[in-house]
Amino acid sequence: MADLSRPPGPKIIAVANQKGGVGKTTTAINLAAALVELEKTVLVVDLDPQGNASTGLGIDPSERDMTTYELLVDDAPLDDVIQETEIAGLHIVPATVDLSSADIELISNEKRSFLLHDALRQTAMDRYGFDYILIDCPPSLSLLTVNAMVSAHSVLIPLQSEFFALEGLSQLMLTIREVRQTANPDLRIEGVILTMFDRRNNLSQQVEQDARANLGDLVFDTIIPRNVRVSEAPSYAMPVLSYDPNSQGAVAYRALAREVMQKNGKLAA
Ligand SMILES: Nc1ncnc2c1ncn2[C@@H]1O[C@H](COP(=O)(O)OP(=O)(O)O)[C@@H](O)[C@H]1O
Ligand SMILES: [Mg+2]
**Residue 103: closest CA among 50, 146, 142:** 142
* Comparison of pLDDT for 117 and 266, the residue scoring more: 117
Q: What is the residue-averaged pLDDT of the chain?
A: 94
**Residue 72: closest CA among 42, 43, 97, 106:** 106
Least confident segment among 28-42, 71-85, 138-152, 164-178: 164-178
How many domains, the chain? Answer: 1
* 157 phi and psi angles, rounded to 5 deg: -115, 110
Beta bridge pairs of residue 188: 154
Mean pLDDT of 186-196: 97
Beta bridge pairs of residue 194: 159, 223
Ligand 2 ion: nearby residues, β-carbon < 5 Å:
24-25, 52
Query: Per the confidence metrics, is the pTM higher than 0.85?
Result: yes
Categorize the per-residue pLDDT at 165 as very low, low, confident or very high, splitting at 50, 70 and 90.
Answer: confident
Per-residue pLDDT tens over the stretch 35-49: 999 999 999 999 999
Residue 2 lies in a domain: no
8 A C-beta contact, residue 97 and residue 51: yes
Per-residue pLDDT tens over the stretch 120-153: 999 999 999 999 999 999 999 999 999 999 999 9
Task: Give me the CATH number covering residue 30.
Answer: 3.40.50.300
| Strands of the sheet with 42-46, listed across from one edge | 83-84, 90-93, 42-46, 132-136, 11-15, 154-160, 188-197, 219-225
Residue 4 lies in a domain: no
Residue 3 lies in a domain: no
Give ligand 1 pocket residues (Cβ under 6 A): 20-26, 52, 139, 195-196, 224, 226-227, 230-231, 234, 249
pLDDT score for 162: 84
Per-residue pLDDT tens over the stretch 193-240: 999 999 999 999 999 999 999 999 999 999 999 999 999 999 999 999
Residue 195 lies in a domain: yes
Is pLDDT at 9 greater than 80 in this prediction?
Answer: yes
Residue 110 lies in a domain: yes
Structural domain for 169, as ranges: 11-263
Residue of the CA atom closest to atom 23 of ligand 1? 21
Is pLDDT at 21 greater than 70 in this prediction?
Answer: yes
Residue 228 lies in a domain: yes
Neighbour count for residue 216 (Cβ, 10 Å): 9
Residue 130 lies in a domain: yes
- Please give the distance, rounded to the nearest whole angstrom, from the Cα atom of residue 267 to the centre of ligand 2: 28
Residue 66 lies in a domain: yes
Residue of the CA atom closest to atom 17 of ligand 1? 23
Mean pLDDT of 171-191: 97
Instruction: In whole angstroms, give the CA distance from residue 50 to residue 61.
Output: 11
